[in-house]
Structure 1
């Protein structure tokens, strides 16, 4: 049975939704979405993937091309139903892929330059500093210092996405179970693109590694384990709220963290145009892996550790490498299996029920490990100044990414063919989806992965040695006299190309093809903040002419050119956040929630904070009376 990505007209049977009865089916409405593209929430999950990066040459022909492609884009409903059937058949076959159940899926995303070319003007006009709009408009190459793409990862060395190369307007993803099916689909798409003057800039292949490396990346470790669950798409465990029913330890994240237009968790939503609803921002990175360099540095540093008696004498290269990642090659977490790898049975989900609450100093799973650097879970200590520990719900859940990565290139074999030698291209095609590029992908890269002091309030931690830049790390000593042993790791994963793109909904694709999306986005409107809203540092509430944010230790109002028009008069440097209270007061809070500064407008239950299109910011009572305003209208 071969499935194409031309959309079916029938709704999948209840049996296609795992663990759901007829009565329970409506509880997971996102599984039935025919508007969200299929790779975002459901995931294509194919052995063979090809990304075609291309640019438009003619706007009219580009819309003709998109009009045909629109009907062939896989939806969440398509992919979720197929994946459920595939997983069921694989369980029946004791882990073997069903040969008679295959599909070819298509997905498409556009860069800011691509949308501008397709529309004949900018997709949105309000681009406040520090927002996902700004990151998207600037593009991946311009954000190199934020995410650590420097030195040999600098965009000047990239194969695509650099400013010195042809612009990338779109990313077309094709994914298939069988290589022959993918090649046939590629030939068809290339021919149609050529006919409509859509020029290919770069093509990036990706393939699941074979045999004993299946499911791993080129260093030999199982990949894609710590994926978040999505509320309204995945089932909740009735015995453990906020967690996936069939994947213990997997938290359910509100869909607004991945799908634009749905409420995010504990964050003011980005002011994106309405046509972008049900879309998602996509990051694509080609990450080259130096496999012999990785294992060579592991071996050298293992010798250093043994010289200092910092590790057991029987420790192996795999033992040390597993500490850098936080999991053994099979995916078993070091936190639960500190001494040896314990593979999971065939068809069983990898263990994601990991806690660091009893390992706050990183003695078992080091603080610099990739697992903790990209998802610290419950392993953060309370603040030195008495503030509460950061909880997963909200602050940490709001940083999660949905990853759809796949290896490229042949496995390393020094005795193999030229395509298997050390200098042959190999690595990971990193793909992720999120609703906010700054709050999610860039935050994780800059504040966690590439930060030498995260988690903070410890001894020197170092960068993530797996995917970060050159770094000194503090390895926790298990047997020696000192608490830590310093090690040095040089970068062995480098960026060779990157793109920021937007994956529109099926509705938006149709509107883009028909020229119905307005240039510049929606007309400006007043932004109304209800009482009881937390205001986090650098989040922007914008009405275009007024941009209200908490920056540093004060609230500010800036105009559309980022010129400061108003600032609060707080002088206390210990600000941890802010709140617009339920009774209408604007306050700045300390680390324990105490009030450090107040505007003094309390006593008005039901009041709202209004960021107006005239440039003024005001607090209004439930009856509409103004009790305070910034006097910044212009």
Structure 2
């Protein structure tokens, strides 16, 4: 997966840049929009590019003793499309079949139509949004430009604005974002370290040999099946994917502008602490930092309250394990409250749905399937009462929340609606309350008493979009929306791809590639009748591999080939299982260099 040229670079690898600008776009002419996209396509970052750069950056940073390497810089672009945008580019409905309650339904309706469901009411309602409210100018696409250096971002934005103007692509809204500087680096505006709890991805991140369910070198970071973030890949518990073929290797994107009232939130924490002290519910020495850490689940440094309940322990030497948290010995939230943001958004191994339950909800097969891939970044200048007007209490500041997932309903919306905004999650006789950090106004149950928290994070805009694969983007430039694998498209397999007997069939309704236990690679049709074989039964073949040089081979246990398609010398070729039943290897230029001749 690290070598994927199909998956856009921000989804799995993560752009990880200090300076970001999101351009929210409207297409005024569908033909010109396709031309714009055709010209943009070569500039879109792939997983292979971003992962390679990030690995090189990490090595250089380690060699320099922790300093960012000044000579390593890059600019990444990511593009996603709303439902109206896809429909305009493709000239047809991208989701003609929309089951009730499905992610297709949520995507088609859009973020504004789902606002009530997610708690975006009152001052957070769409009529107050700066973009995406469903009544202003429509948004067809989101172009994200991310850079290490501000001067590089400015140059890239100039190019993108000129390209947009040339093709009648209107910039409806621009949202900036930047890493906070100095001691605030890596933190959000309330002052807490952010981005610690991101999941690892199966097939992308290396597992720990002693704890294979966790990422190597990052204790507590669970490895989640790639299909939870990228459509068409294996999902937690083997759940099926009912999305059309063109969605393969793409991901649903949620964009939210979340305004933060920093002085208001901290003033509220101080007021609630005073009340709790008067009631004798907290230690006499408790500070606002102490209470704030319990609302978040971490201290400012990122140290979990579960590990250091009494005071922060901001040690760089221990920061590598800040995600290694267990709530198994704190099922009722005596140390880290059940209402804390950390437990509300990701309950980990400590979720008892009811106090009477005998078993916690398992992570594998249940909670892992709720994870999202967050890519947020702060916007605005930090609050500083001694600073200029731009640092004052009324200056705009907050978080540009971005996340990727393969199912909007099961992942982002479930977390927001059923966990963060649900007062009685997990269910208790005294409801724990909503998330007091990012949720709406709530009463939380703290040490047996109710404590009221107002809302100090407001939604000021939201968009649901889809970041398609590079192949699907290419199709959209021609006004098409088919192919890419799945129930109504070709299955495109990019190198390196491995097929073992245990993997089962891969393909379309009329053709499925299967690696047999006897060592034979075969093509089966819709009636499970064999249409083609490699003729390697009994030769010791254990797996089929589509190599980066364009050759499809069957390898034995000693890694020696027992059969070849003899198509080496075709880098960037694709192995494609076609809807018509044929299986082909198509060179980068489009020429078919090998086929099973099984169309029917």
TM-score by length of 2: 0.79
Query: Does the aligned pair in 2 maintain the 1:361–1:458 contact within 8 Å?
Result: no
SS of 1:174's equivalent?
strand
Q: How far is 1:122 from its partner? A: 1.1
Which of residues 457, 472, 475 is equivalent to 2:443? 472
SS of 1:394's equivalent?
coil
Separation of aligned partners in 2, 1:386 and 1:180? 56
String of CA shifts for 1:240-260, please: whole Å, max 9, x gaps.
121111100010000000000
Separation of aligned partners in 1, 2:338 and 2:359? 20
Q: How far is 1:523 from its partner? A: 7.8
Query: Superposition pairs for residues 352-391 of structure 1, below 5 Å?
Result: 352-381=323-352, 383=354, 388-391=359-362
Query: Superposition pairs for residues 527-566 of structure 1, below 5 Å?
Result: none
Separation of aligned partners in 2, 1:54 and 1:347? 43
Q: How far is 1:389 from its partner? A: 2.8
Query: Does the aligned pair in 2 maintain the 1:123–1:518 contact within 8 Å?
Result: no
Separation of aligned partners in 2, 1:99 and 1:291? 32
Identify the residue that residue 496 of structure 1 maps to in structure 2. 460
**Alignment pair present for 1:263 and 2:234:** yes
Separation of aligned partners in 1, 2:41 and 2:366? 36
Q: Which moved more, 1:509-518 or 1:347-356?
A: 347-356
Q: How far is 1:269 from its partner? A: 3.2
Separation of aligned partners in 2, 1:351 and 1:380? 20
Separation of aligned partners in 1, 2:141 and 2:156? 17
Gaps of 5+ in 2: 490-508, 510-600
Separation of aligned partners in 1, 2:10 and 2:357? 43
Separation of aligned partners in 2, 1:523 and 1:273? 6
Separation of aligned partners in 2, 1:349 and 1:102? 25
Gaps of 5+ in 1: 1-29, 477-483, 526-542, 544-634
Q: Which moved more, 1:508-517 or 1:426-435?
A: 508-517
**Alignment pair present for 1:132 and 2:132:** no
Separation of aligned partners in 2, 1:258 and 1:458? 35
Separation of aligned partners in 1, 2:421 and 2:458? 13
Which of residues 99, 122, 136 is equivalent to 2:93? 122
Separation of aligned partners in 1, 2:146 and 2:352? 42
Identify the residue that residue 509 of structure 1 maps to in structure 2. 473
**Alignment pair present for 1:157 and 2:128:** yes
Identify the residue that residue 146 of structure 1 maps to in structure 2. 117
| RMSD between superposed Cα atoms in Å | 1.8
SS of 2:74's equivalent?
strand
Separation of aligned partners in 2, 1:360 and 1:383? 10
Identify the residue that residue 240 of structure 1 maps to in structure 2. 211
Which of residues 189, 196, 212 is equivalent to 2:183? 212
SS of 1:241's equivalent?
coil
Q: How far is 1:522 from its partner? A: 8.4
Query: Does the aligned pair in 1 maintain the 2:18–2:148 contact within 8 Å?
Result: yes
Separation of aligned partners in 1, 2:317 and 2:139? 41
Separation of aligned partners in 2, 1:323 and 1:387? 26
Identify the residue that residue 99 of structure 1 maps to in structure 2. 70
Q: How far is 1:347 from its partner? A: 10
Separation of aligned partners in 2, 1:367 and 1:54? 40
Separation of aligned partners in 1, 2:358 and 2:317? 44
Which of residues 21, 29, 51 is equivalent to 1:80? 51
Separation of aligned partners in 2, 1:344 and 1:509? 45
Separation of aligned partners in 2, 1:154 and 1:112? 21
Q: How far is 1:321 from its partner? A: 0.4
Q: Which runs of structure 1 show a deviation greater than 3 angstroms over 4 or more consecutive aligned residues?
A: 267-270, 382-388, 521-525
Query: Does the aligned pair in 2 maintain the 1:159–1:497 contact within 8 Å?
Result: yes
Q: Which moved more, 1:441-450 or 1:379-388?
A: 379-388
String of CA shifts for 1:45-86, please: whole Å, max 9, x gaps.
000000000010111111110001111110001001111111
SS of 2:67's equivalent?
coil
String of CA shifts for 1:136-179, please: whole Å, max 9, x gaps.
00000000111111111000000000022101100000000000
Q: How far is 1:515 from its partner? A: 2.0
Q: How far is 1:268 from its partner? A: 3.5
Q: How far is 1:388 from its partner? A: 4.2
Q: How far is 1:328 from its partner? A: 0.4
Q: How far is 1:349 from its partner? A: 2.8
* Cα distance change on mapping 1:417 and 1:83 into 2, 3 Å: same
Identify the residue that residue 421 of structure 1 maps to in structure 2. 392
Query: Does the aligned pair in 1 maintain the 2:295–2:437 contact within 8 Å?
Result: yes
Separation of aligned partners in 1, 2:304 and 2:360? 23
String of CA shifts for 1:470-499, please: whole Å, max 9, x gaps.
0000113xxxxxxx2211000000000000
Query: Does the aligned pair in 1 maintain the 2:344–2:435 contact within 8 Å?
Result: yes
Query: Does the aligned pair in 2 maintain the 1:102–1:177 contact within 8 Å?
Result: yes
Separation of aligned partners in 1, 2:155 and 2:440? 40
Q: How far is 1:41 from its partner? A: 0.2
SS of 1:171's equivalent?
strand
Q: How far is 1:270 from its partner? A: 4.0
**Alignment pair present for 1:49 and 2:20:** yes
Identify the residue that residue 428 of structure 2 maps to in structure 1. 457
SS of 1:430's equivalent?
strand
Identify the residue that residue 523 of structure 2 maps to in structure 1. none
Q: How far is 1:387 from its partner? A: 6.8
Q: How far is 1:383 from its partner? A: 5.0
Q: Which moved more, 1:430-439 or 1:259-268?
A: 259-268
**Alignment pair present for 1:440 and 2:420:** no
Query: Does the aligned pair in 1 maintain the 2:354–2:426 contact within 8 Å?
Result: no
Identify the residue that residue 38 of structure 1 maps to in structure 2. 9
Query: Does the aligned pair in 1 maintain the 2:81–2:465 contact within 8 Å?
Result: yes
SS of 2:337's equivalent?
coil
Q: How far is 1:386 from its partner? A: 5.7
Q: How far is 1:400 from its partner? A: 0.3
Separation of aligned partners in 2, 1:382 and 1:211? 41
TM-score by length of 1: 0.75
String of CA shifts for 1:305-329, please: whole Å, max 9, x gaps.
1101111111111111000000000
Which of residues 368, 392, 401 is equivalent to 2:372? 401
* Cα distance change on mapping 1:56 and 1:256 into 2, 3 Å: same
* Cα distance change on mapping 1:347 and 1:462 into 2, 3 Å: closer
Query: Superposition pairs for residues 598-609 of structure 1, below 5 Å?
Result: none
